[in-house]
Amino acid sequence: MALVTTAEVCDANPQLISSGELRALQPIFQIYGRRQVFSGPIVTLKVFEDNVLVREFLEEKGNGRVLVVDGGGSLRCAILGGNPVVQAQNNGWAGIVVNGCIRDVDEINGCDIGVRALASHPMKANKKGMGEKHVPITISGTRISDGEWLYADTDGILISRTELSV
């Protein structure tokens, strides 16, 4: 994905866009982390103002996957912080997309991993362990399923039903 931009992928695949096999997320995410371009198979997680399951996932080996967290769009606390992002980087995750807030931005920006989130917030999340793993999620009207592929660069984020040959 480093040589072909998301814009070029969109231009070259109008049939995949019209069929819904290739979708662009709305441009609501801020860019964090040192890796501005990343891609990989998606693992989904749905939580609300609780980060226990986020931390559990990132403790696993990432194997180039991208964790996509539907945090309900909450702007009231951060569901991802610096320590789990360092762990994700060390465990081989390609990236993390959070429909919610993060914190420890300076630490995250020092990590060699791609992170997208709505905003930063200094307050920490609850620790109840509530949420759903590997379920279809919807972020700003775009449905995302476990096992689909995510492609991100500075132009935006694409979701594809299958791995694209670029």
Does the annotation place 84 within a ligand binding site? yes
Distance CA 84, CA 82 (A): 6
Does the annotation place 116 within a ligand binding site? no
Distance CA 103, CA 32 (A): 11
String of DSSP letters for 10-52 = HHH-HHHHHHTSEEE--S-PEEESS--SEEEEEEEEE-SSB-H
Does the annotation place 104 within a ligand binding site? yes
Does the annotation place 82 within a ligand binding site? yes
Does the annotation place 122 within a ligand binding site? no
Does the annotation place 20 within a ligand binding site? no
CA of 92: how far to CAs of 86, 95, 122, 156, in Å? 10, 9, 26, 22
**Where is the binding site for Mg(2+), in residues?**
104
Binding site feature residues: 81-84, 103-104
Binding site as annotated, residues for substrate: 81-84, 103
